Structure formats: C-alpha cells, structure tokens
Amino acid sequence: MSRLTKEAKIGVMGSGTMGIGIALVAAINGHEVYLFEVSSSALEKAKKDHENFLKKSVEKGKLSDVEASETLKRIIYKDSFDFDQTCGMYIEAIIENLELKQEVFSNLDQITNAKTILCSNTSSLSITSIAAACKNRSRVIGTHFFNPVPLLPLVEIVPGIETSETTVNAVRGLMKAWGKSPVVAKDTPGFIVNRVARPFYGEALRILEESIADVPTIDWAMKKFGGFKMGPFELMDMIGSDINFSVTETVFKEFYYDPRFKPSFIQKRLVEAKHFGRKSGKGFYDYAEGAAVPQPVENEKLGKEIVDRILSMLINEAADAVYMNVASKEDVDLAMTKGTNYPKGLLKWADEIGIKNVVHSLTELREFYDEDRYRVNPLLKKMAKNNLKFYE
C-alpha cells in the first residue's frame, strides 16, 4: 500500500498528551501532519510542546536546526475537525469515550476515500465497537501508542473483527518505518500490556493488604531481586492511582469480573482521597518537601518470596495471553520490554526460572488461598508436564 510512505499525509485528531506525541513522531518521520483539535488552548499547548521538544532535540544534537524547523513546518494545526480526503491515514486520540469516538469515525468513514486507514489510540475500548460506526470497517484498526510517544517504541496494533490483513500490514510497515516496535494484539480487554501487567500492581497490593510486607519493602524487593527499574508502588504513584485504578477496574469488568483482575480497596481509598501519587503530592509515598522517606525491611528471604509471587502471577498472565491467542509469545515478550521497560520478556524469564517452578509457586498459592485468582494457566500446566520451554 504505497499510500503509507513518507508522502502520505497523516491526520491526528485530538492534541492531548497522546495526540501531541503521535503528531510529532509522524512529522519527525517526514510526513505532513494535520493536527485537529476542538480546544484552542489545547492546540496552543501542542504547538508550544512541539517547539520545546524540537528545541531540546537540537540542544542534545539529535536534530539539526534545519531538521527541527522543517519538522515544525510539516505540522498544520487545525482548530476544528474539518477533515478532508487528503490524508492517507487518520489517528484518533481524543478522550476515552465510545460515543464521541464513534462520531469521529462515522464522519471519517463518510468523508474520506475508501482506502484511507482509520486508527484509534484507545486504551480500553474495543476496536470492533468503534468500527461499528463505519460502513467500511476493513480499514479501521487500533494503534495503541505508549506515553511518552516519542520515547516509548511499543505500538500495539489491534485489528477489529472486520479489519483486513492489508490494513494490518500497511500499519505495521509504517510503524516500523517510524522506528517503532509494533506488535499485533487481538481485540480483547487491555490488549497485551494493560492486561499482562495487571499483577505487577494487583499482587503487590494484595501482599500489602495482607500485611506481608509494606510499600517500601515490596518496591525494594522488586528492584533488588526482580531487576525492575521501579517498584509497583513507585510506578502507580508515577502513573497516577486514578488512571491505574481505572484501567484495573475496566479490565476487571471487561473480563466479566474474573478474580485475577480484582481491584484493591487500598488503591480505591487513595483515589477517593485524591491521593493520586506524584501529581497530587501524595500517594503511596508522600512527596512533600522534607517528608520522611520510609525505609524497606531488607530481608532477603522475604524479598525473594515477594518477587517469586508477583513474577509467577505475571508469567501466568503472559502465558494466558498466548494461550488465548491474544498475541504470539514473541510479541508478548516484546510488548512487556518495550512498552513497560520490564527487564526481560516474561516468557523468556519463565524458561530461565523453569516452568515447573512457576507452576509450583502458583499451585502453592492456589492451595493456600483456595481462590480462583491463583489458578494455573493450562498452557503452563501442559508445558510443565511435557518439560517444554517457550524458547528452545
């Protein structure tokens, strides 16, 4: 599909956090970009953010002065959604609201040429439900970028049930040309990352809820023995518990209340108190100047138990994504390293730990708690029984 070369014009709808980043990446990669926004202040902010980012890129030696000014010239800021037929691809990044997104897609479907590819950056809505607003659904697809878009390489490509293979291939090709790491995910709740990562938070919260360890100890253990760059509570505070809790709640509801994804009351209360984390000055940690920094209990045995429990749950979820055909094992591992900076792919990690050991840890949890939350994924059971590895 030649339309998605550098010559293809790219339309981006919504100049919020994600739209700003997506428009910038497309422009840096040589496309003429139309950034559509309904709020003039948001559009002003987008322009300023682009100028600042490009200025910093010049200071860091990543772009020349000329490249930076040419990039900025390629972005056309539009203060309404007056689409036309000229773009080869539109990427929608407006607020997470199905009715509003459907309205945008219905307009695009009517106005654009039948070969124009229509993408949504939704995190939690089904692509199929967004595509339902269009007559020609074969060209509607999810392109789930990660924040900050210019820095995080992962893009989850999500075909809806009527998306054509041609559309998938064209988008995958374009994302690779932009230097991104595309993975293809089935249109299921949370796609890959927002589903597989749930136990990183959920199991840490459960350990806290049971008073097995406190916040700094769990964070310390995950960094020290798991090799994670941030502990679960540090990360929830950085993301914001309002956002993190809402993703968990959505995934839980969308999975018809599967106990694997059950949200935590501790986090719910923090959200109710508006203790969102860094942005509100308080979350699991206190960010006020001079606030005491709580210290971990540096007990190696406890630390390793914490990592074993959370990691086993993460591997169980990664295996489930493969077992349920959400994505290939390679794409699951790529997604978790490129979208969330995990130190290793979870399935590669499972091979290193030994799948029998992972199954053993999960079985112990299942027997002790007698809860469905800890049920062992059938793929892991089969692999342990037959002494198999994910990667031979």
Ligand X SMILES: NC(=O)c1ccc[n+]([C@@H]2O[C@H](COP(=O)([O-])OP(=O)(O)OC[C@H]3O[C@@H](n4cnc5c(N)ncnc54)[C@H](O)[C@@H]3O)[C@@H](O)[C@H]2O)c1
- With tokens 């590895």, the residue in question is 389
Catalytic-role residue among 156, 203, 234, 317? 156
Asked if 126 contacts 101 with a C-beta cutoff of 8 angstroms, the reply is no
- Burial (CB count within 10 angstroms: exposed 0-12, middle 13-18, buried 19+), residue 75: buried
Task: In angstroms, give the least distance from the CB of 45 to ligand X.
Answer: 9
123 assigned to active site: yes
What is the rounded distance in angstroms from the CA atom of residue 213 to the CA atom of residue 218?
6
392 assigned to active site: no
Task: In angstroms, give the least distance from the CB of 18 to ligand X.
Answer: 3
Please identify, using beta-carbon distances, which residue of 239 and 358 lies nearer to ligand X.
239
Q: For ligand X, what does the binding mask look like between residues 13 and 52, x meaning CB under 6 A?
A: -xxxxxx-----------------xxx--x----------
- Binder to ligand X among 112, 116, 121, 126 (CB under 6 A)? 121
Q: For ligand X, what does the binding mask look like between residues 139 and 178, x meaning CB under 6 A?
A: -----xx-x-------------------------------
Q: For ligand X, what does the binding mask look like between residues 91 and 110, x meaning CB under 6 A?
A: --xxxx---x----------
50 assigned to active site: no
Residue 282 DSSP symbol: B
The CA-atom distances, in angstroms, between 186 and each of 82, 92, 328 are 32, 19, 10
- Measured from each CB, the residue nearest to ligand X is 16
DSSP-derived secondary structure for 139-193: TEEEEEE-SSTTT--EEEEEE-TT--HHHHHHHHHHHHHTT-EEEE--SSTTTTH
Please identify, using beta-carbon distances, which residue of 120 and 217 lies nearer to ligand X.
120
| Number of residues counted as binding ligand X (CB under 6 A) | 21
- Binder to ligand X among 57, 112, 116, 122 (CB under 6 A)? 122
Q: Pick from 91, 101, 98: which is nearest to 145 by CA?
A: 91
360 assigned to active site: no
Residue 296 DSSP symbol: P
What is the rounded distance in angstroms from the CA atom of residue 122 to the CA atom of residue 170?
19
Please give the residue ranges that form the binding site for ligand X (CB under 6 A).
14-19, 37-39, 42, 93-96, 100, 121-123, 144-145, 147
